[in-house]
Amino acid sequence: MENLRAADRPAAAVAAVARRLLRPPGLREVLRGSWLGHPLHPLVITVPIGAWACASVLDARAGNEEAARRLTGIGLAAAPAAVLLGLADYDRLNRRQQRVGVVHAVANTAALACFAASYAARRQEHHAKGKVLSLLGMSVLGVGGALGGHLAYAQGAGVFRWQRPAEDGNVYPFEARRAR
């Protein structure tokens, strides 16, 4: 994905939207987690992912339809915060990271649409349809999550953004200890 030049135009458009949306002074830094010293997006995404994963587990056994519907709704309610926090980080990414990021966002938007459709089906008592849509959403969410993991772990997006260098000037304090 990081070499997918076809993603450059959509990536630039998303970055422009993020800059406009998060224009008020200091807002982006607050949403990025500067006050905590840790990015907020990875913390908040655990709520929708956890809710949707638990709904899928409950779907495996009859009689849990209401609880699965509620968990699907909780995930949907938490998703906008995860999206906003992801946008706060987005325009600070380099071009290769933005390419992966825009595909990550598309996959997660598709997953969100599946969960919204699942919730609607469940509200109308179409439980089998809601379960299938939820499984589809989990599959697509897995792809989006893998891309998010690639951004963080392989591409280092946002890693060590607030840490101070160790005495030897190394940004990675654990590397300084190991080198001794």
**Phi/psi class of residue 159: alpha, beta or left (left: φ > 0; alpha: ψ in -120 to 50)?**
beta
Task: Answer with the residue of higher pLDDT: 26 or 137.
Answer: 137
- Token pair of 38 as six digits: 């840790």
pLDDT category of residue 175 using cuts at 50, 70 and 90: very low
C-alpha dihedral sign at 49, 55, 59, 60: positive
Residue-level pLDDT at 170: 59
For the cut 50, the answer to whether the pLDDT of residue 179 exceeds it is no
Inter-residue contact 128 to 58 (CB < 8 Å) = no
Task: Answer with the residue of higher pLDDT: 158 or 164.
Answer: 158
> What is the SS3 assignment for 178?
helix
pLDDT in tens, 47-71: 999 999 999 999 999 999 999 999 9
pLDDT category of residue 177 using cuts at 50, 70 and 90: very low
- Token pair of 142 as six digits: 């897995």
In the 8-state DSSP scheme, what is residue 152? I
pLDDT category of residue 178 using cuts at 50, 70 and 90: very low
Tell me the mean pLDDT in the region 10-20.
Answer: 94
Alpha helices in 60-163 (DSSP H): 65-90, 95-123, 127-149
For the cut 70, the answer to whether the pLDDT of residue 165 exceeds it is no
**What residues contact 63, with CB distance under 8 A and at least 6 apart?**
none
* pTM of the predicted protein model: 0.87
